[in-house]
Structure 1
Amino acid sequence: MKKVFFLVLMLFSLSFSKEKTLLLDKFSNPVPLPSDKLIILNFMAYSCGHCMAEIPTIKKVLKEKEFEGKFIVIAFALDGKDNNFKDKDFPIYANNPKNQVLFPIFGTPTTYIINPSGKKLAVVYGALTEENLRKYLREALSKSASGRI
């Protein structure tokens, strides 16, 4: 009886713990999140022309001195069959639909900028341009630095 009570107590306490956001790939493997950078979650599809066109834009802007080393991209392909890590600057995981419970999408591309704890700093529905990506990155950095998250 004591063991059952202890087990229930442990499960109850774990349900209220403040763990990092758990994102999964298609195969239910956890996706590692860095603890020292802001995270750009890019929900995309290989079949989406706007999604494919924004990849070089995101990579270009993140190499700018203002943003370099402060962000990491983690992409999720809704139509992905396998994880694709060929591009170290833009790793693409085959998406697990469970991710969309925490980060709803209404179409592709959809981009979230979050802190390492999973707090949403910005969300963009639709394709990113260099100008609006810079705007959202600055906004995320400002919220992160001011503690408004």
Structure 2
Amino acid sequence: MLFTSFSGSLVSRIPGAVHNTDTIWLPGNICAYQFRLDNGGNDEGFGPLTITLQLKDKYGQTLVTRKMETEAFGDSNATRTTDAFLETECVENVATTEIIKATEESNGHRVSLPLSVFNPQDYHPLLITVSGKNVN
């Protein structure tokens, strides 16, 4: 998903990316969905973000609604990315993630980001093989 953030003055920034990179299963039937956020390398930092996400099944029915928070990031190329986790009780048949709200902390205030700044993109990890073994 691509997004542009807005500062307190609502000045748009260069698009960055957010990907769901992994799902981690934890004891107690907890799932942590890992997301990588990238500001696009424009050296304009993001304040801490709060992103409200819905996990949906293939029919579009909402299974879970939770908030995911990030640290401030992106004020240099060294900090252009950050990882964030959405933790929730594991549910079956999750097919999509939908962003329903996003805010950024700017100058001590929360600023709502319009959802039109998000442009969904799908991430597919590389297939890993081991020499001499068949791939299942």
Higher helix share: 1
| Both structures adopt the same fold (TM-score exceeding 0.5) | no
Classify the TM-score, shorter chain.
under 0.3
TM-score (norm 1): 0.23
Question: Larger % of strand: which?
Answer: 2
